[in-house]
Chains A and B, each alone.
Chain A
Amino acid sequence: MSKIEIKKKSSDAADFNLYTLSECAITLAYDVEINTFTFYQISHLKEIIYKNPFAGFQCAVPAYASMTIFYDPIQVMQSKKLRGINCFEKISNYLSQIKEAFSANQAIKKPPIIIPVCYEDEYAPDIKELAKFLNLTIDNVVQIHVEAHYKVHMIGFVPGFPYLGGMSERLSVPRKNTPLKKVPAGSVGIAGKQTGIYPFDTPGGWCLIGRTPMTLFDTERIQPSLLQAGDEVIFDPISKQDFERIKSKENAIKDH
């Protein structure tokens, strides 16, 4: 197992370790817990990589305190621009160069993405029980959930599923003991200190407190996943009528 450390070049970019995930992937990992600083570091680094990709670059997958870069080893090895005798060296060198661009090239803070959510009974099968468990009213639960600004740390589980950090600890609940066989698409769930949205009808064990009419993942869009790691999100409470209206609009776009 080899590891190299890229030395701190400027005051802006934090240190990360690099390790091999597979023949086609390298992970850069920050030696920290989840925090806002790392979140911005990863988002910014991802942006720079996508703007200046190396030959053979396929994608960069952010997670809580890491980002993994996938590539085609044949193209990486053929590239004369990347220095090194193997893919690990070549991509390490590329990342060192990228880090130099880091300080000069400040991340542009994007406005938050607003996700409409209906918290009414029909779409919130677990909200009553949750309120009882937390010793809150249903309105309190909604208010606390809506007040926070969320950060998309990563997309995973299924295509388009955002893991959102930033939820108030007052809403923290354990996962359900028996996962539901079919959670309806659009369901907004809570588990531990996280909240997330189910893009498809899938099994799931999170506590369901609302539903969005937005289509979270659509292969016909240029960017299939509505949310990307690095995005910031705000939930906007809507009525059942608004839900139906937005939903039919979304379906019309989908069928178009």
Chain B
Amino acid sequence: MRLKIIKPGIMTSIQDLGRWEYRSEGVPSSGAMDTLAARIANIALGNAPHEAVIEFTYGNIAIQTQSDMLLAYSGEGGTFFIEKQLLTPGKPIFIPSGTVLNLVNNPSSVYTYLAVAGGWDIKDILGSKSTYITAGFGGVQGRALKIGDELSNNHNYTDTTKKILLKLQGKKINFPKWHLNKMSFIYHQTVVRVVPAHEFTWFEASSLLNFLSSSYELNVNSNRMGYQLDGPKLNRSVKKELLSTAVCPGTIQVTNDGSLMLLMADSQTIGGYPRIAQVAAVDLPTCAQLSPGNTISFAEISRTDAEKRYLERENQLRKLAIAVAMAVNK
């Protein structure tokens, strides 16, 4: 299975669930900004969770199948169309060779993920296929995808993938009745759960109250490294310097002028700004999909609660994969 990029959009790259073993050497994890969407696209095809997907930013994107393909997509950055026909996210779709798919932007969201049966055939670099553009490695030659790039799939299909393919392949576009609903996993569109971070108590009480009760708006100055959030500035009661220490995606740092910086997939491994909170991993996909001008507020939970939600989510996704396997066995 092979496809060609006709219109690449502003930032299209190969991502997976990230590169987590080289942070001690300064290598960011990278990976899908919305890992939930990336995983659902793979689950819909019976793929393993870590398979690479194509990450699209906004819309204005066109791709063309160069052979018969079995694809699935997820994420709210846009909606795929074949001519006038809307394709539903979260389901395997058989598409004949030579078909053009257009991704039409959804202004209130950002990222969309396209998975292929067997996963995209990309070389592993340091244990991951994710693109890290700053250092120029991973994905396709360490860069964003451009016009004319062609991508093929891996042929080592799982049993579930084989069954889906057998059921759907033919001369026409074909898909099953079922689809996986990503929204059923979302806690809230505008409330994000956070765990107080190590320097939480370095801030004035009134600032902490503001942090937990005000709305914060995503600044246009945001990218895969970090999201700048505009709202009430936070004042410090403890003025000492933080010795640089490890940070990770989901860490909310407070810069010297009191504004919030939420670290995302390509963030540095070490930071020197005090950290007020850590976004619960299960709610980070909600943050990732914020579009500039969108607002969120924060709700405090405990670290044990955040861990519980994480383990629950993993369990739900595992069950979802089993449900897909059962659906295609019928």
Task: Scan residues 147-202 of chain B and give those whose CB is less than 8 A from a CB of chain A.
Answer: 195-198, 200-201
Q: Which residue of A lies closest to B136 (CB)?
A: A200
Q: Contact at A217–B303, with CB atoms within 8 Å? A: no
Indicate if A139 sits at the interface (CB-CB under 8 A): no
CB distance from B96 to the nearest CB of A (A): 38
Residue in B28, B125, B132, B278 whose CB lies within 8 Å of A21: B278
Q: Contact at B243–A66, with CB atoms within 8 Å? A: yes
Q: Contact at B307–A68, with CB atoms within 8 Å? A: no
- Chain A neighbourhood of B306, CB < 8 A: 23
Indicate if B310 sits at the interface (CB-CB under 8 A): yes
- Chain B neighbourhood of A58, CB < 8 A: 20-21, 23
Residue in A20, A64, A157 whose CB lies within 8 Å of B268: A157
Task: Scan residues 220-249 of chain B and give those whose CB is less than 8 A from a CB of chain A.
Answer: 243-249
A77 to B269, CA, bound (A): 25
A161 to B28, CA, bound (A): 12
Task: Scan residues 246-287 of chain B and give those whose CB is less than 8 A from a CB of chain A.
Answer: 246-251, 268-270, 278, 280-281
Task: Scan residues 40-96 of chain A and give those whose CB is less than 8 A from a CB of chain B.
Answer: 46, 58-68, 70, 73-74, 77, 86-88
Binary per-residue interface labels of chain A (10-29) against chain B in the complex, 1 for a CB within 8 Å, 0 otherwise? 00000000011111110101
Q: Contact at B303–A73, with CB atoms within 8 Å? A: no
Indicate if A155 sits at the interface (CB-CB under 8 A): yes
A34 to B196, CA, bound (A): 25
Q: Contact at B281–A217, with CB atoms within 8 Å? A: no
Binary per-residue interface labels of chain B (13-51) against chain A in the complex, 1 for a CB within 8 Å, 0 otherwise? 000000011111111100000000000000000000000
Q: Contact at B303–A20, with CB atoms within 8 Å? A: yes
Binary per-residue interface labels of chain B (126-143) against chain A in the complex, 1 for a CB within 8 Å, 0 otherwise? 100000101111000000
Q: Contact at A157–B270, with CB atoms within 8 Å? A: yes
Task: Scan residues 138-162 of chain A and give those whose CB is less than 8 A from a CB of chain B.
Answer: 154-161
Q: Contact at B248–A73, with CB atoms within 8 Å? A: no
Query: With A159-B27, A160-B26, A229-B24 known to touch, is A25 a contact of B198 (CB < 8 Å)?
Result: no
- Chain A neighbourhood of B27, CB < 8 A: 159, 224
Q: Contact at B25–A29, with CB atoms within 8 Å? A: no
Query: With A2-B303, A25-B246, A63-B246 known to touch, is A74 a contact of B311 (CB < 8 Å)?
Result: yes
How many of A's residues come within 8 Å of B, CB to CB?
51
- Chain B neighbourhood of A159, CB < 8 A: 22, 25-28, 132, 135
A73 to B197, CA, bound (A): 19
- Chain B neighbourhood of A67, CB < 8 A: 246
Query: With A58-B20, A228-B25 known to touch, is A156 a contact of B268 (CB < 8 Å)?
Result: yes
Indicate if A108 sits at the interface (CB-CB under 8 A): no
Indicate if A202 sits at the interface (CB-CB under 8 A): yes
Most buried by A among B125, B198, B246: B246
Q: Which residue of B lies closest to A161 (CB)?
A: B26
Residue in A1, A23, A64, A155 whose CB lies within 8 Å of B307: A23
Q: Contact at A60–B24, with CB atoms within 8 Å? A: yes
Q: Contact at B26–A219, with CB atoms within 8 Å? A: no
Q: Contact at A63–B278, with CB atoms within 8 Å? A: no
Indicate if B304 sits at the interface (CB-CB under 8 A): yes
Q: Contact at B196–A1, with CB atoms within 8 Å? A: yes
A160 to B173, CA, bound (A): 47
Indicate if A168 sits at the interface (CB-CB under 8 A): no
10 smallest beta-carbon distances between A and B, as pairs:
A156-B270, A68-B246, A225-B25, A155-B26, A23-B310, A64-B243, A63-B245, A61-B246, A159-B27, A159-B26
Chain B interfacial positions (CB closer than 8 Å to A): 20-28, 125-126, 132, 134-137, 195-198, 200-201, 243-251, 268-270, 278, 280-281, 303-304, 306-307, 310-311, 314
Q: List 10 A-B contacts (CB under 8 A).
A: A2-B303, A21-B248, A21-B251, A25-B246, A27-B198, A33-B243, A58-B20, A159-B25, A159-B135, A224-B126
Chain A interfacial positions (CB closer than 8 Å to B): 1-2, 19-25, 27, 29, 33-34, 46, 58-68, 70, 73-74, 77, 86-88, 154-161, 163, 199-200, 202, 217, 219, 223-225, 228-229
